Structure 1
Amino acid sequence: MYSEVRDIRLKISMKNLENLYSSGVLDPQIYNRLKLLLSFSRDFEKFLEYIHNEDSSKKERAVVAFSGGVDSTASTIISKRIFNVVGVTIYSPTIMEEEDKSRISNLVKKLGITHRFIEIDLEDIRLGTLEGRYHPCGRCHKRIEESILNYARDKGIKYIIYGDMLSTGYLSVVKEEDTIRINMPSFLSLTKNQCREILKTVGIEIKRKYTCPLLRIAHRYERNKKFTIQRILREVRAQVIDSGEGLKNILEVLSQH
């Protein structure tokens, strides 16, 4: 990512953070810790050192939407510096294979976090995708986020962390009714490769296909491939993935039948 672009995004994240704090949305402790994260993020080596510094002080709980991918795992490692993390994985055989569930269970043990699976019904979305009525990602993401939000509310947890890389600036930390959503990689203007570097510091390497079982069903229809490729190109334009990775992901999509 161009340093000028990253600096602009970090300045906007800081301004957004200050606005939320001045309006009473953020607790002082969380505000100060997020502010420190931003200040260290300008120097990636110092940032890595900071997130691994032990902090025995009492921390507020936060839910991390944990898919077991690079972005959510990096977000978990970062969030542990600020919060008492509860990882929540939304499970359905429609979007996750059994081996993925086993891999995630092993991963959270290595991360040392509290974790739970929540199973949801996505059969209606699977059928709609199978019939070619729509591209499923929007509906699927909405259903997953609703389940994460309901869990946080049931447990009285105010902060929810996502691994979203695209919602930069004012969209990276937002108040959603009675909760605060933090899209951690976009808040810190991290790239996918930087997230991988964060994983390496704790001995984790994640290699996954770009698509899930549901998306592979969607790609039986050529028009759906176009929407997936547009998402990949947005990531390339936003400089969160490099062009080589973008091309690799596009070729994977195009090869599916």
Structure 2
Amino acid sequence: MIIQKNDLISLISKIRRDIGHKDVEVDILDLFFDEDQGNLLIITPDRPEKSVIIGKGGWVVGRLREELRISSIHVEAYSDFIVPVYRMKLALVKLEEIISEYSHTEKEPLINLSHLLASRIENPYSIESLIENFQKTHKEFNKFHEDRSNKIRKEDNKFDFTSVVALSGGVDSSASLIIAKMLGFNPVAVTVNPGDIILPRYFRESAENLTRILGVRHHYLQVDMKEVVEGSLEGRFHPCGKCSKTIEEAIMAFMRENNIPFLLYGDLLSTGASSFQRDGEVLRINLPAVLSLKKGDVKNIALKGGVKTRTGYGCPLIGEVHKNLPHMRRFSIQRVLRETRAGVLEPGEALNQINGIL
């Protein structure tokens, strides 16, 4: 099926009239239709034009999907891509500097990341199509890394991996593992297990299922979070900061012990040049931030890997803190607003998370 821009504009205008919406100009900058998946991406000049196509309560875009008989329609404003593209250009400059410093054997995945990043700068609209194209054009490279992945050096019993992916079982870290595997980072997935109150069984099952699907070795690190749990339940501090610090320290110790050069995180906020951080011999790469991905992007990538998305905010511990210490909710809300200001969360997603916190 071929969808023409002018025909689509006429259909949207008709739908708006039919359901009693104000008759306004419909402006579409570009559109992309994936016929195999039945997915339509519509690009508008700015957010007001985006609102015209979506309609109040999503009625217009819902009727449009029914009229076209396709699986899904996603509407994006071109203005929302301007800042991410700028950030990706900053990241690419930093990445090229890093590549020039690394040895030939270590920098292959970095070069592949630079290729993916450059392609995304040229076409920032659909990360899924870029990933699929990358996989098709790098089959031989991926086969090479497939053959040498998930092995242990028998002589010293050390992990023979290029990178560690910090895998919690959530969508951010799951998407990072999928991308890392595709880029040839030869990853081992490391999950820090502080106990069920912070990492419940369903997150561990999600991590285990994904690593099994990808054929990636999965390693657990046990840590003592007693002080974090008790201190947060007593109201002495918000748990997220101290919990993250403890997890990072455990993973960094594992990295140094096994001489693994790259640490890959699912951080969405440290964009641009800040998405690459050196800590001694370890280079930390916040993969979603490098590619300026939004929460919706990482969810879609994770879904392709069979990862189930969950509603709500945070872990069971933060849920107990919110319930027993209502004044702590404001700090969680501030974290949601920080992601919203950065463009990582859409306002509607942020509102759902805040409602969950409250």
After TM superposition, the score normalised by the length of structure 1 is: 0.91
* Alpha-carbon distance, 1:128 to partner: 0.7
Matched, 1:4 2:82: yes
CA contact (8 A) 2:336 2:354 kept: yes
Distance between the aligned counterparts of 1:213 and 1:105, measured in 2?
20
Give 1:203 shift: 4.1
CA distance, structure 2, for counterparts of residue 209 and residue 112 of structure 1: 29
**Higher-Rg member (1/2):** 2
Is 2:235 aligned against 1:119? no
AA paired with 2:222?
E
Post-superposition CA distance 1:118-170 (Å, at most 9, x none) = 11100011111111100111111000001111111112111000000000112
Amino acid at match of 2:335: R
Who is 2:328 aligned against?
224
Residue matched to 1:87: 189
- State how far apart, in whole Å, the 2-side matches of 1:99 and 1:167 are: 27
Partner of 2:132: 49
2:55 aligns to what?
A: none
Residues 147-158 of structure 1: pairs in structure 2 closer than 5 A: 147-158=250-261
1:173 aligns with 2:252: no
1:135 corresponds in structure 2 to 238
Percent identity, aligned pairs only, is: 36
Of the structure 1 ranges 138-147 and 12-21, higher mean CA displacement relative to structure 2 is found in 12-21
Q: In the alignment, which residue of structure 2 is the partner of 1:251? A: 355
Distance (whole Å) between structure 1 residues aligned to residue 241 and residue 211 of structure 2? 27
Instruction: Assess, with a 3 A threshold, how the Cα gap between structure 1 residues 208 and 106 changes in structure 2: closer, same or farther.
Output: farther
Of the candidates 235, 244, 253, which is equivalent to residue 339 of structure 2? Answer: 235
**Residue segments in structure 2 that go unaligned for 5+ positions in a row:** 1-76, 149-160
Shift of 1:22: 4.0
Q: Does the 8 A contact of 1:159 with 1:181 survive in 2?
A: yes
Counterpart Cα distance in 1 of 2:248 and 2:164 = 12
Three-state SS of the structure 2 residue aligned to 1:8 is helix
Offset of residue 191 of structure 1: 0.8
Counterpart residue identity of residue 350, structure 2: G
2:89, 2:203 → 1: CA distance? 37
**Which range moved further: 181-190 or 93-102?**
93-102
Unaligned runs of 5+ in 1: none
CA contact (8 A) 1:63 1:159 kept: yes
- Note if contact 2:262-2:285 (Cα within 8 Å) is conserved in structure 1: yes
**Amino acid aligned to 1:21:** I
How far, CA to CA, are the matches of 1:3 and 1:130 in structure 2? Answer: 41
* DSSP-derived class of the 1:117 partner: strand
**Partner residue, 1:20:** 98
Task: Output the CA distance in 1 between the equivalents of 2:216 and 2:170.
Answer: 16
> What's the RMSD between the two structures over aligned residues?
2.0
Confirm or deny: 8 A CA contact 1:129 1:217 kept in the other structure.
no
Native 8 Å contact 2:262 2:284 kept in 1: yes
Q: Which is worse superposed, 146-155 or 216-225? A: 216-225
The residue type equivalent to 1:69 in the other structure is G
Q: In the alignment, what sits opposite 2:165?
A: 64
Change in CA separation of 1:139 and 1:25 when aligned onto 2, cut-off 3 Å:
farther
Code of the aligned partner of 1:80:
K
Determine if the alignment matches structure 1 residue 206 to structure 2 residue 309: yes
* Aligned counterparts of 1:236 and 1:222: Cα–Cα separation in 2: 22
Between the aligned partners of 1:23 and 1:112, the Cα distance in structure 2 is: 30
Provide the rounded CA distance (Å) in 1 between the counterparts of 2:319 and 2:259. 36
Q: Which amino acid aligns with 1:234?
A: R
